[in-house]
Structure 1
């Protein structure tokens, strides 16, 4: 099995999602000896957010008269897409930041959303091209949202990631969730214990 391990938290060793992705990857690799793990730390080496210079080449594939920066960013984009499509399992660390996802993870999505590779447009609408792989999202939230009235209004993190993966042709996304981690030591410990139980159930 080939596994792509993505982290996006900016908190380093204090990150809950980094702890969760490490546990998920360790559990899966123990259950599947010989697994090849490709790790990409999007916070340590963040893809550049798209700007006027990059969007023409990264999103619209206009390859005329490329600058050195555009050439480098095009190569990075193709590498990120190749990594994603080569993986049978993708583990994504995605904390909630201001009700959404970290900037480096959004930049990664902007690169991987490539017409003709991860999706295409047809006469009947968009069609995902990246089906057949397992996606597991390690989610952390300071407050509690799942199953509450706040979920509909404020969850632009898990809901967004599920929508993106569905667009890519992966409608079934597994969520390992630790929420309420900023609500005191007891709540944090309970959240991590619940997430650990979810991790053990992955195999």
Structure 2
């Protein structure tokens, strides 16, 4: 058994998404002691910013005409796609940044697509848990309803493009504990935290099969 785990927080020591993903992983590992966990942390080890452009242009060029940089980028893209193809289960921990998807995640997804193609069902029927955390509140009736442009994109890629058997765990209001302007929301934030951890334990057990 092989679990692939992806993290994208730029603050790994205080990451709220990692805490939830850790809970999912712990449940999976308890059911599969000694199994392989393949990790990639995009926040602490980001992919080269120019890799996708090089891989994309290299993919359209005949092999003999590719530059060394294009070959390296295509090699990286193939490696990333392979990590998904070999996975029996997947956990991704990706925070919301500036109302949109993490640039690290977007580069990763673009490189995977550059290697596998836009219609490849890389995760077809693979149990996958997406953990995403948001500093503020974006639900129905909130002032910023509809400002979360990250979660729908990731769901589109993971569930619709790659055909993952996807479970989403979403925790909002993660900044309530440190932002004085959000003090009135701290009880609600604590409730969301507990719900997310409960959902993570349930999802981890389901992920383990």
What TM-score, normalized by structure 1, do the two folds share?
0.83
Which position in structure 1 is the counterpart of 2:125?
Answer: 132
Higher strand proportion (structure 1 or 2): 1
In the alignment of these two chains, the number of paired residues is 194
Q: Does 1:158 align with 2:159?
A: no
Deviation of the 1:89 alpha carbon: 1.1
Assess, with a 3 A threshold, how the Cα gap between structure 1 residues 196 and 131 changes in structure 2: closer, same or farther.
Answer: same
CA distance in structure 2 between the partners assigned to 1:27 and 1:82 by the alignment: 24
Q: What residue is the counterpart of 2:163 in the other structure?
A: 169
Deviations 1:7-34 (A, max 9, x none): 0110121111122222211121112334
Tell me the alpha carbon deviations over residues 158-177 of structure 1, each in whole angstroms, 9 at most, x when there is no partner.
1111111211223x421122
How far apart in 2 are the matches of 1:43 and 1:113?
20
CA contact (8 A) 1:6 1:41 kept: yes
Q: Which residue of 2 aligns with 1:124?
A: none
CA distance in 2, matches of 1:187, 1:149: 13
Do the aligned partners of 1:7 and 1:92 also contact (CA within 8 Å) in 2?
yes
- After superposition, the C-alpha distances for 1:80-133 in whole angstroms (9 at most, x for unaligned) are 000011101111111011111211111100011147x3653xxxxxx7353121
Aligned-residue CA RMSD (Å)? 2.4
Distance 1:136 1:118 in 2: 23
Listed as ranges, the gaps of 5+ residues in structure 2 are: 178-185
- Structure 1's 46 and 31: CA in aligned 2 closer, same or farther, altered over 3 A? same
1:67 corresponds in structure 2 to 67
TM-score (norm 2): 0.81
CA distance in 1, matches of 2:144, 2:92: 20
Mark the CA change 1:60 to 1:186 in structure 2 (over 3 Å): closer, same or farther: farther
CA distance in 1, matches of 2:61, 2:134: 36
Distance 2:61 2:85 in 1: 19
**Could you tell me how far 1:189 is from its partner in structure 2?**
3.1
Q: Does 1:103 align with 2:69?
A: no
The residue number in structure 1 matching 2:180 is none
Matched, 1:201 2:202: yes
Alpha-carbon distance in 2 for matches of 1:150, 1:162: 23
Take 2:78 and 2:60, find their aligned partners in 1: how far apart are those partners? 13
Structure 2 distance, partners of 1:108, 1:61, is 21
Distance in 2 between the 1:146 and 1:2 partners?
A: 35
Query: In 2, Cα distance between the equivalents of 1:9 and 1:128?
Result: 26
Deviation, 1:200, is 1.7
